């Protein structure tokens, strides 16, 4: 029942939430900092608020209100606000800078590294993230993520879901759009990639927003794959000598 499609040559991955657990990582580092500095902060709320500021901050760049600004600097703008809102005092400039770089130290989901290693044997694998290049390289170094190539919004001076990002990655890989598949935990990202002609794989990251929050994890027939994690994706794409 599948339409005839060319073989997939490359997989590009959304990173925040799809490959790495931003919420758990920020909470863990926040709690450690809180103990050291005797800060009474609800770090779950803090992590959620930081992430919630990300989309509006990017929207200001996408609309042209702000010139190109890398995520590190957007994260810092949001953080400076949060330090006031959460009444956090007594951090030195270096400590604030280090806290901002928690985004360079986010931990991969438990299946991520192993799944990527398997997928890498058959496909070119790369990031396609709104994170800046330095951040993505540090995430990979810290988490042992074996990317063949790092694509960032920074390379295109466009943030996802602008088409320049999806089409830019395919172009640099020398691929037609439908030879490249976006792997992501977020449907809006996948639908935008699909509108550009890319293939799509939805990964259910049930804990991305914490155990309490219910997001939309329903499979979509519009996507080429709907999977629970990267191991399952590797089994579907590489298992038994190359099923599909």
> Can residue 124 be called a binding residue for a second copy (CB under 8 A)?
yes
Residue in 44, 48, 81, 134 binding a second copy, rule: CB under 8 A: 134
CA distance 244 to 242: 7
> Can residue 116 be called a binding residue for a second copy (CB under 8 A)?
no
Site string for a second copy, 83-112 (x = CB under 8 A): ------------------------------
> Can residue 48 be called a binding residue for a second copy (CB under 8 A)?
no
> Can residue 140 be called a binding residue for a second copy (CB under 8 A)?
yes
Candidates 37-45, 91-99, 130-138, 158-166 — which segment interacts with a second copy by CB under 8 A?
Answer: 130-138
> Can residue 155 be called a binding residue for a second copy (CB under 8 A)?
yes
Return residues touching a second copy (CB under 8 A).
72, 124, 132-134, 137, 140-141, 148-150, 152, 154-155, 172-175
């Amino acid at each position: 029942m599948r339409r005839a499609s060319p073989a997939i040559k490359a997989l590009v991955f959304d990173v925040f939430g799809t490959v790495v657990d931003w919420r758990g990582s920020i909470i863990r580092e926040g709690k450690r900092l809180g103990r050291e500095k005797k800060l009474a902060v609800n770090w779950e709320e803090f992590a959620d608020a930081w992430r919630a500021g990300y989309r509006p901050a990017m929207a200001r760049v996408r609309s042209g209100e702000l010139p190109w600004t890398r995520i590190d600097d957007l994260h810092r703008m949001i953080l400076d606000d949060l330090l006031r809102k959460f009444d956090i005092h007594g951090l030195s400039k270096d400590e604030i800078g280090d806290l901002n770089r928690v985004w360079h130290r986010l931990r991969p989901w438990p299946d991520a590294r192993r799944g990527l290693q398997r997928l890498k044997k058959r496909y070119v694998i790369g990031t396609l993230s709104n994170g800046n290049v330095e951040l993505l390289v540090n995430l990979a170094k810290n988490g042992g993520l074996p990317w063949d190539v790092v694509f960032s919004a920074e390379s295109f001076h466009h943030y996802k879901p602008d088409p320049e990002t999806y089409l830019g990655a395919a172009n640099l890989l020398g691929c037609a759009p439908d030879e490249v598949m976006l792997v992501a935990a977020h449907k809006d990202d996948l639908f935008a990639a699909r509108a550009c002609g890319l293939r799509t794989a939805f990964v259910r990251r049930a804990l991305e927003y914490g155990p309490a929050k219910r997001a939309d994890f329903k499979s979509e027939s519009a996507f080429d794959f709907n999977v629970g994690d990267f191991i399952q994706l590797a089994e579907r794409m590489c298992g038994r000598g190359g099923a599909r």
